[in-house]
Amino acid sequence: MISPTLILDDVDIDVVAHRIAWGKFVNSGQTCIAPDYVLCSYETLKKLLPSLKKAIQEYYGNQPSDSDSYGKIVNNS
């Protein structure tokens, strides 16, 4: 199943960025609510990207793979 995220132009972009980051990365994205793609205007996208980067850094630091908060999936390959 594919989960789109629709963002309107009049939202609080920082709140949206935190919610997208949480939804995508909780349980390594292995949930049915994990956003797969975003639909928004170009103007909103220009505001979203830096805010999303900031939210991810707040949750997981500059090296998410080293964070204890970032979920890992065990794989023998």
Which DSSP string corresponds to the chain? ---EEE--TTS-HHHHHHHHHHHHHGGGG-STT---EEE--HHHHHHHHHHHHHHHHHHH-S-GGG-TTS-------
Residue positions annotated with a catalytic role: 32
Q: What letter represents residue 26's amino acid? A: V
